[in-house]
Amino acid sequence: MTGPTAVALDNATVAFRLADGRVYTAVEQANLAVAHGEFVAIVGPTGCGKSTLLNVAAGLLKPAAGTARIFDKQLSGLNRDAGYLFQADALFPWKTAIDNVAIGLEIRGTPRAEALARAQKWLGSVGLGAFANRYPHMLSGGQRKRVALAQVLIRDPKILLMDEPFGPLDAQTRQIMGNLLLELWTADRKAVLFVTHDLEEAIALADRVVIMSAGPGARIIGDWRIALPRPRDISEIRMEKDFHALHREIWSVLKDEVMKGYVQSSQAGAA
């Protein structure tokens, strides 16, 4: 690993109190470190607490035990160094695309004219230069994700937290968004923590793939370095031999957890 640790979770345990008073442990004693400039993907079966872990790193959730450290400082309150890309639509529906992007600068005190100029540039970078005055509902799902990406990146956060950001998109749009993300990331290599349930997407994007077990009490059970060369093309890289070897290796571990998670969730559904 090179450089300081951007995100470090030490024995982080996350628990929720359920409506009936019982305590549900979502994640148990997770240890995870993301180096400066490193792209780490977390993969796990549905409902294993991947997003929970991300929310701890964002400071949106407090761990029941253990700590989260950001650049070697213990995190209390929100993580001010991080930009967060949500799975669901998180744009402000009452603001146009350009206002949505500019807001991150405006609330910091940047004069409006300058904020708008820079927002227009960022919209250009995500390929939406001509859509500045559209409201979110006038954009497609993929376009909204692009605006959200620009909204987060314009603040130039040192850490990028992404919660299945391309989950709701169709397969082709996902690949295009993946390539866009890599292109923007290569420009200034932020630390990225990327949560997904799609192993192929994880391998294609990341430097490291971390596997979580099925919940409750999910743990980190595997950590693979993805030594595939960069720059990568998401759609091309899937054809390569090394990709297949890695995929087979990681999937052999993940498969059992996915089955466990499936059985548990179907039992929970029946109960």
- Give me the residues that bind other proteins (CB under 8 A), please: 58, 60, 78-80, 82-84, 86, 88-96, 103-104, 107-108, 135-138, 151-152, 155
Residue type, 219: R
Shorter beta-carbon distance to other proteins: residue 80 or 189: 80
Shorter beta-carbon distance to other proteins: residue 78 or 259: 78
Give the angle 120-125-128 at the CA atoms, nearest 5°.
Answer: 65
Shorter beta-carbon distance to other proteins: residue 28 or 99: 99
Please name which of 158, 10, 12, 150 lies closest in space to residue 80, comparing C-alpha atoms: 158
Give the angle 164-166-171 at the CA atoms, nearest 5°.
Answer: 130
Residue 85 Cβ vs other proteins, minimum distance, rounded to whole Å: 9
Residue 60 Cβ vs other proteins, minimum distance, rounded to whole Å: 6
Please give, one letter per residue, the 3-state secondary structure of 163-181.
ECCCCCCCHHHHHHHHHHH
Residue 123 Cβ vs other proteins, minimum distance, rounded to whole Å: 16
Shorter beta-carbon distance to other proteins: residue 101 or 226: 101
- 176 Cβ contact partners less than 8 Å away, ≥ 6 residues apart: 142
Residue 51 Cβ vs other proteins, minimum distance, rounded to whole Å: 11
Q: Which helix (H) or strand (E) holds 55?
A: helix 50-58
Residue length, the chain?
271
Residue 98 CB-density burial (10 A; 0-12 exposed, 13-18 middle, 19+ buried): buried
Shorter beta-carbon distance to other proteins: residue 144 or 247: 144
Question: At residue 35, what are phi and psi to the nearest 5 degrees?
Answer: -75, 160
Q: What is the DSSP letter of 138?
A: G
Residue 82 Cβ vs other proteins, minimum distance, rounded to whole Å: 7
Residue 9 Cβ vs other proteins, minimum distance, rounded to whole Å: 18
Shorter beta-carbon distance to other proteins: residue 38 or 99: 99
